[in-house]
Chains A and B, each alone.
Chain A
Amino acid sequence: MRASLRKFLAGKWAKAFVFAVSLIPVIRIAWRAYRGDLTANPVEFLQHQTGDWTLRFLIFTLCITPFRKLLDLPELIRFRRMLGLFAFFYVSLHFLTYLGPDQSFNFAGMLKDVAKRPFITVGFAAFVLLIPLALTSTAGWVRRLGGKRWQLLHRSIYICACLGVIHYYWLVKSDIRKPVFYGALVGILLGWRLLNWLIKRKAPVVAQSAPLRVS
Chain B
Amino acid sequence: MLIKKPAGLTYADITPKNIYFNRRNFLRGLGIAGAAAVVGERFASILSPSTNVYAGTKLTTVKSAYAVDEKISSYNDVTHYNNFYEFGTDKADPAKNAQKFHTSQWSVSVEGDVKTPRKFSMDEILQLAPLEERIYRHRCVERWSIVVPWIGYSLSTILKLVEPLPKAKYVAFQSFYDPHEMPESRGTGLDYPYVEGLRLDEAMHPLALLCVGMYGETLPNQDGAPVRMVIPWKYGYKSIKSIVKIKLQSSEPPTTWNRQSSYEYGFYSNVNPNVDHPRWSQATERRLGEIFMHKTLMFNGYADQVASLYAGMDLKKFH
Contacts and interface: CB of A to CB of B under 8 A. Distances in A.
B188 interface: yes
Is the contact region of chain B dominated by helix, strand, or loop, or is it mixed? loop
A177 B142 contact: no
Given A39-B91, A117-B280, A102 B293 contact: yes
Ranked 3 nearest A-B pairs via Cβ = A174-B189, A40-B81, A40-B77
Given A41-B144, A175-B188, A170 B293 contact: no
Contacts of A173: 142, 189, 260-261
Contact of B288 (A41, A102, A171): A41
Given A39-B81, A117-B279, A117-B281, A104 B187 contact: no
Contacts of A177: 187
Contacts of B280: 117, 119
Interface residues of A, number: 21
Interface string A12-40: 00000000000000000000000000011
Interface string A100-139: 0110100000000100111100000000000000000000
A199 B289 CA distance: 55
A43 B291 contact: yes
A102 B293 CA distance: 6
A39 B144 CA distance: 13
B293 A40 contact: no
* A-side interface mostly: helix
Contact of A101 (B189, B261, B291): B291
B89 interface: yes
Contact of B286 (A39, A41, A116): A41
A44 interface: yes
Contact of B289 (A40, A104, A113, A117): A40
Instruction: Give the most central of A113, A175, A177: most B CB within 10 Å.
Output: A175
B84 interface: no
Contacts of B85: 174-175
A163 to B, nearest CB: 16
Nearest to B81: A40
A132 to B, nearest CB: 28
A191 interface: no
